[in-house]
Structure 1
Amino acid sequence: MTLTIGLLALMALPWAAAQPVNPVKIGMVGPLSGPSSDFGKPMLQGIELAVEEINAVGGYLGRPLNLVVKDDRGDPDAGLQAARELTAEGVVATIGYCNTGVAMKSLEVFQQAQSPLIIPCSTGTPLTSTYPAPQSYIFRTSARDAIQAPFVVDDLVRRGWTKVAVFADTTGYGEAGLKDVETALAKKNLKAVYVARFALGVKDLREQLTAARAAGANVVFSYTVGPENATIAIGRRDLQWDVPQVGAWPLSFPFFIDGAKQAAEGALMAQTFIAEPSNERRAAFLSAFVRKFKQKPAVPMAAAQAYDSTYLLTYALFGIRNGKFGGPAVKAALENIPRVYYGVVATYEHPFSLEDKDAISQNMLVMGKVRNGAVTFANPEDAKRNLFVQRKQ
């Protein structure tokens, strides 16, 4: 596969001397069961695909990468226990977390253990701002909500949808997302005409939707990760309230698209990756994924971001020539990746630094749209721009 060419070049460097053949342990944690498994499983699959490719060309100087996998079930306490187990088992770094609330409860474990964590899915803004950047061991390859929310708000304003009703769940994800939406609206001199808060598992939001309609809303901005997005869409349909539903990337999840069915049509969301073979890298990734797993990724963004995260970690490890993977050494290597990685989501040139632990910038985002039960480009100009993989700005 073309994405492994850079690793082959690294393997050919003069310092690639023989090393003891003991595996390099990499942690993985995410919701492999429970209500968030529809994006936890694709995250794991993306990591597994990258590990298979990397090991096929020699791993780290002849040492295979070995995944240590933990299921957090989307539960904060399970996520915390997984963090403790992974750091105790001596993984060189961990790739994981899909739920902001789960990740938030576990950050201190990684930070105190000086064990790097790369987050490929969770988007809550506080995750990479909890600790001062120079000291932080928390890295991320997903688009934080502080850039997703204003990106979507900009699109709404261009379309003339300025009377916004925000529906946010009461998890850490919904709480942080609501703040980011309100901040983005305020920068446009706007304020939500209605705000609804709800717990996960709610089955009927028609009362809140009726109130939003009465407040004059002409668009619903939803911030939740599970079936509740579908509950909102179905509620709008039942009320025959024909206004658009927009949001962050969870509107691309099966829980929404399959759960809401026809009511999901036309929904708009921020995306870093849309599963269309728009260039050679993305075509290669998608075909390799289907060959390995006999299916397309259920949540393409989760799979692609996790795949890129695994390669970025490996590129960083090649910057440690003596094979001594202490936490500070791996942190410094991630902050100073010497080679450009031509990834699926982006072209990564110095994705992290001492002062910046987020690899994704707003220019990498496109608007996705649910059409015929799948996510495609909402805007023709995004489809054209997507022919060229973006770099961080």
Structure 2
Amino acid sequence: MLAGLELAVRDVNDAGGIVGRPLELVVRDTAADPRKAVAAVDELAGLGVAALAGEYHSVVARAAAARADALGLPFLCSSAVLDGLTEQPTEWVARLAPAQSHGWQIYADFLLGAGHRRIAVAAESSVYWAAGTRILRDHLAPRGGTIIELDLRAFAPTAVCAELVDNRVTALLLLVGYPEPAVSIVKSVRRDRRLAQIMIGAPAGQPEFAEWATLLGEDGAAIPFLRYLPERLGPLGVRVEAALDERLAQAPSFVAFEGYDTVAVLAEALRSHGVDRVRDAGFWPRVAVEGTRGQIQFSRVPGISVWQWAWTPIQVVDRDPAQPDRFRILHTG
């Protein structure tokens, strides 16, 4: 994400900045900690920033969004998907990533299309994972699907295997942290001969990252996950992809594109409305920007409390077992 943010800032400044003034990116690491996120928002607000950008973890983004809303500071959330990003509707917060309910329903449709009806979720305790489980159950149940919850506070990775056998599931979804316990669970399941035919899935996208392939090798392939990219990038996306590839020395994840698009949106808002106008609530629906993954505009979506891009392109992909550094598109929505 940071690579995408930095590249976009460079491109904005190479094109003359914001009305002749350079755009500056001030970075603070929230370290996946909601308390640090709130402290960062307070610090950045005190520094007089024009807007906030970024965040990947949904629970952390929720804390940042609540504080930004309370302070009246615009916040464009790049990547977090939790539907309830704020408790009440807000004019100050917008989001590029699709809401969890939208993306995870598409993932549930993929599961049904692949013939899976008895599905286990290995889940840690978190608002995000609980919301994901609920979305899957609500979407699958009317269509003949069953969700079996395995609370990882009660099951070690090896014990998960026995539960999968006993419950005759055909798919296991990893609603857990990365790298652990996700990596250990994958290794245990892959090495259990009783589970040779089971599909492992990771809707939250853990297999997207290069470290996944490094840690798991062939065991990390054929694990479908959600990715927020179109089937084909347009000219801007192709150019940004090449620049990010050079910058990172590896293929960029979709999160890098989210970072780039975040700055592209905020830069256009600052050019069009000025810093003072951006500080006034209600400018989000007037923003229209060509991003790396399509035309970005914001609207109100029922059940979503923030201004939402509805919707970024969504794919279900996996790593190709024959070539784990290559992704296969399995389903689009």
Q: TM-score, normalised by structure 2?
A: 0.88
Counterpart of 1:369 in structure 2: which amino acid?
D
Q: SS of 2:149's equivalent?
A: strand
Cα distance, 1:218 vs. partner?
A: 0.1
Match of 1:217, SS?
Answer: coil
Does residue 333 of structure 1 match 2:283? Answer: yes
List 4+ stretches of structure 1 deviating above 4 A.
276-279, 353-356
Structure 1 residue 213 and structure 2 residue 159: aligned?
A: no
The one-letter code sitting in structure 2 at the alignment partner of 1:62 is: G
**Residue pair 1:234, 1:260 contacting (<8 A) in 2 also:** yes
Shift of 1:203: 11
Kindly state the Cα deviation for residue 51 of structure 1 after the two structures are TM-superposed: 0.4
Moved more, 52-61 or 84-93: 84-93
Q: In the aligned structure 2, how far is the partner of 1:368 from the partner of 1:191?
A: 23
Equivalent position amino acid for 1:315 in 2: E
Cα deviation code 1:309-351 (max 9, x no counterpart): 1101111222215x425522xx4222211x4x22212222x33
Cα deviation for residue 352 of structure 1 reads: 3.7
1:102-121 aligned within 5 A: 102-121=60-79
How many residues get paired? 324
Q: Tell me, yes or no, if structure 1 residue 373 matches structure 2 residue 318.
A: no
The reply to whether residue 151 of structure 1 matches residue 110 of structure 2 is no
Q: Secondary structure at the match of 2:28?
A: strand
Contact 1:258 1:373 in 2 (8 A): no
Asked if the contact 1:229/1:251 (under 8 Å) is kept, the reply is no
Matches within 5 A, 1:343-358: 343-348=291-296, 350-352=297-299, 357-358=307-308
* Structure 2 partner of 1:235: 188
Partners of 1:149 and 1:256 lie apart in 2 by 21
CA RMSD of aligned residues (A): 2.5
| CA contact 1:118–1:309 (8 Å) conserved in 2 | yes
Deviations 1:177-226 (A, max 9, x none): 2222222223424221x212236xx9951202321221010001222341
Distance (whole Å) between structure 1 residues aligned to residue 279 and residue 62 of structure 2: 20
Q: 1:375–1:168: structure 2 CA closer, same or farther, 3 Å change rule? A: farther
CA drift of 1:368 comes to: 0.9
Contact 2:234 2:293 survives alignment (8 Å) = no
**1:297 positional shift:** 4.6
Q: CA deviation at 1:375?
A: 4.7
Question: In the alignment, which residue of structure 1 is the partner of 2:128?
Answer: 173
| Structure 1 portions without partners, runs of 5+ | 1-42, 383-389
**TM-score w.r.t. length of structure 1:** 0.76
Amino acid at match of 1:316: A
1:140 maps to amino acid: R
* Structure 2 spans left out of the alignment, 5+ residues: none
SS at match of 2:26: strand
SS of equivalent residue, structure 1 residue 285: helix
**Paired letter, 1:342:** E
Higher-RCO chain (CA-CA 8 Å, sequence separation at least 6):
2
Judging changes above 3 Å, is the alpha-carbon distance between structure 1 residues 203 and 72 closer, same or farther for their aligned structure 2 residues?
farther
Deviations 1:131-158 (A, max 9, x none): 22xx342211112211121111101111
Q: CA deviation at 1:56?
A: 0.6
1:203–1:218 Cα change, 3 Å:
closer
Distance 1:115 1:45 in 2: 24
